[in-house]
Amino acid sequence: MKNRVFTFEDLKIYAKFKGYDLGFHRYRGVFTLTNLSNEEEWGWVYFPHADQTVAKINDLNLEGWKLAIDHSIALVNK
């Protein structure tokens, strides 16, 4: 396992600061973002430069996660 200096809770705090709840659905192996003010607005977390969902915390470093969250929020807001 890779060493990392952030946790899932750190990512949840970042998403919450952006107005979204970050969740993980173990059965499907995907992360989701749900708009805190409108739960009907949600989407999967995608890699910033690919059309593929993020499946593991270790798939990205902290900066990559921030880019992925921002990118996924932009997709939800389209």
State how far the Cα of 44 lies from the Cα of 75, in Å rounded to an integer: 9
Q: What is the pLDDT of residues 34-60, one digit of tens each?
A: 999 999 999 999 988 887 899 999 889
Indicate whether 5 pLDDT > 80: yes
Residue 10, SS3 per DSSP: helix
pLDDT at 77 (0 to 100) = 86
Q: What is the pLDDT of residues 11-37, one digit of tens each?
A: 999 999 999 999 999 888 899 999 999
State how far the Cα of 19 lies from the Cα of 47, in Å rounded to an integer: 20
State how far the Cα of 39 lies from the Cα of 48, in Å rounded to an integer: 23
Question: Quick one: tokens of 32?
Answer: 């989701």
State how far the Cα of 73 lies from the Cα of 75, in Å rounded to an integer: 5
pTM beyond 0.75: the answer is yes
